[in-house]
C-alpha cells in the first residue's frame, strides 16, 4: 500500500529518567500532506535538561507512522534516532568559532 498521511512521533520520554517521564507526553506531528511523496514540514520545539557531556547525552528516538482509514490504522513505517550529544558538540564548536 502507498503511504497516505505520514506523521512522526518524537519519543520525549526516552530522554528522561522513568520517574520524570510519567509527567511528560510525546510530541506528534499532524498527518496533513498526501500524495506519492508527502513531506512533513513541522517545526518541533521543546525544552529539556540534558547532560553537558556528550558521552552521557541520550539519543532522541522517533517513529514514523502512516494514518490510514481516518486514524483507525496506524502502521509503523520506520524509526530513526537523533544524536543529541553530537549536535551539542557541533553547536559548541560553532559558537566558539564565532566568538574567536
More confident residue, 32 or 44: 44
Strand 76-83 versus strand 59-66 pairing type? antiparallel
Alpha carbons 82 and 74: distance in angstroms, whole number:
22
pLDDT at 40 over 70: yes
Structural domains counted in the chain: 1
Residue 1 domain-assigned (yes or no): no
User: For residue range 46-96, what is the model confidence (pLDDT) as tens digits?
Assistant: 888 888 777 888 889 999 988 887 767 788 889 999 998 888 888 888 988
pLDDT at 81: 93
Task: Name residues whose C-beta falls within 8 Å of residue 95's C-beta, 6 or more positions apart in sequence.
Answer: none
What is the domain extent for residue 89? Answer: 6-99
In a domain, 50, yes or no: yes
In a domain, 15, yes or no: yes
pLDDT at position 1: 65
pTM listed for this prediction? 0.75
Amino acid at each position: 500500500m502507498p503511504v497516505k498521511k505520514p506523521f512522526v512521533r518524537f519519543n520525549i520520554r526516552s530522554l528522561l529518567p522513568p520517574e520524570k517521564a510519567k509527567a511528560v507526553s510525546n510530541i506528534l506531528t499532524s498527518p496533513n500532506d498526501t500524495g506519492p511523496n508527502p513531506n512533513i514540514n513541522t517545526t518541533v520545539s521543546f525544552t529539556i535538561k540534558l547532560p553537558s557531556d556528550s558521552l552521557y547525552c541520550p539519543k532522541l528516538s522517533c517513529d514514523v507512522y502512516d494514518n490510514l482509514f481516518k486514524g483507525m490504522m496506524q502502521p509503523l513505517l520506520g524509526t530513526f534516532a537523533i544524536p543529541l550529544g553530537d549536535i551539542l558538540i557541533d553547536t559548541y564548536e560553532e559558537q566558539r568559532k564565532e566568538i574567536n
